Amino acid sequence: MLKIISLMEELKVFRGINAINVDEKGRLSIPTRYRQRLLDVAQGHLILTIDTEQRCLLLYSLPAWEVIEAKIEALPSFNKTTRRIQRLLLGHATEVEMDKQGRILLPPLLREYASLDGRVIMLGQGKKFELWNEETWQTQRDHWLGEELNDDSLPDELDSLAL
Amino acid sequence: MLKIISLMEELKVFRGINAINVDEKGRLSIPTRYRQRLLDVAQGHLILTIDTEQRCLLLYSLPAWEVIEAKIEALPSFNKTTRRIQRLLLGHATEVEMDKQGRILLPPLLREYASLDGRVIMLGQGKKFELWNEETWQTQRDHWLGEELNDDSLPDELDSLAL
DNA sequence: CCACTTTTGCCCAATATTCCCCACTTTTTT
DNA sequence: AAAAAAGTGGGGAATATTGGGCAAAAGTGG
């Protein structure tokens, strides 16, 4: 029964945008609405790694991460591109744990990578969250908003997407 | 029962990035979160060797190394490339042991190979760790981050990798 | 084979980091 | 407007990391 609840929890997605303060000690307080989910699904065990395309961090529940990790590990290790992905993703994947106040401590090297100081944006992205420096986020978002959509480059999957 | 636990331990992967100081004597302190695993799986017996592609070192638990070693030995010894790999990997493989404080002593020749002085980056990479000079790592990582992914060279396995 | 130097491993002390707890501020709800 | 809940910040205890002293062990040259 517990298992079923846990599976159902896993199917739910994380949504929403939140602005959070990171304190001097590098702690980030997870918004309460996500806490119970993260406790149910992963007993508060989370994985923080880098996004290789953007200077932001990705936050996964441990079980969600393990699925991805298995795929990453299975990639051929003699291929240059996949080797690079393994190094960057697995190499930066750091286990963090929610403390009793529902906060996580950002490891210095990762914190530095994404310049997580002062105000941080936490974006729900389905199975994961993204953590952005607020300014970087604003800039990037405005950039995306300004981009023209050109029909030629749209993947076919988009045809069936009615908003 | 102990065997089973030990096998389960072996299935778990090493992840994450750590910055560690190597002291004057060439000692490197293994982060505590990995220590118990390494003791359980290998009683602290580790193998250190060189990465033939990069100026970094590879750190294996002894059992994990033995698997690799067997494969390397099985390679055809008349082939030039495999002969080279045998020489480099097997030749540099050195057994090191965690001391009671959880540190390992880096053999001078290996230490020199990867310029492991002052701050060192220890990257979890599944069955093994990589040890990098911090500066070398930063440079190499930034290079990898800057590389464009070009779709042509991507193996099919990547298609199923949704982060 | 013995004295001497160097290396290695253990121990302890100093420093730095991490975590828990509590208090204060801000936001939301009733 | 008061009460409740969530977010924020900092003191202090516990833990981890780091560096150096010292003794045992190993290597070196006579």
Check if residue A105 sits with its Cβ under 7 angstroms from strand D. no
Q: Which residues in chain B have Cβ-Cβ distances shorter than 8 Å to A110?
A: 17
Q: What angle do CA A53, A56, A59 make, to 5 degrees?
A: 110
CATH superfamily of B9-146: Transcriptional regulator MraZ domain (3.40.1550.20)
Architecture field, domain A8-146 = 3-Layer(aba) Sandwich (3.40)
Kindly state the tokens that stand for B121: 């980056």
B12 touching A (Cβ < 8 Å): no
What's the confidence (pLDDT) of residue B11?
A: 65
What's the confidence (pLDDT) of residue A64?
A: 94
Give the three-class secondary structure for B120.
strand
Judge whether B44 and B34 are in contact, CB under 8 Å.
no
What is the sign of the dihedral through the CA atoms of A161, A18, A88 and B141?
positive
Ranges of residues in chain B with a pLDDT under 50 are none
Q: Is the pTM value of this prediction over 0.75? A: yes
Summary mean pLDDT of chain A: 87
Give the three-class secondary structure for B90.
helix
Q: Is the pLDDT of residue A6 over 50?
A: no
Q: Is the pLDDT of residue A82 over 70?
A: yes
What's the confidence (pLDDT) of residue B155?
A: 66
Strand D: which positions are within 7 A of a protein CB?
A: 5-10, 15-20
- The residues spanned by each domain of chain A are 8-146
Distance from CA of A81 to the nearest CA of B (A): 7
Q: How far apart are the first and last CA of chain B?
A: 36
Contact B157 A82 (CB under 8 A): yes
Q: Is the pLDDT of residue A4 over 60?
A: no
Assign 3-class secondary structure to chain A: CHHHHHHHHHHCCECCEEEEEECCCCEEECCHHHHHHHHHHHCCEEEEEECCCCCCEEEEEHHHHHHHHHHHHHCCCCCHHHHHHHHHHHHHCEEEECCCCCEEECCHHHHHHCCCCEEEEEEEEECEEEEEEHHHHHHHHHHHHHCCCCHHHCCHHHHHCCC
Alpha carbon A32 to chain centroid, angstroms: 17
What's the confidence (pLDDT) of residue A26?
A: 93
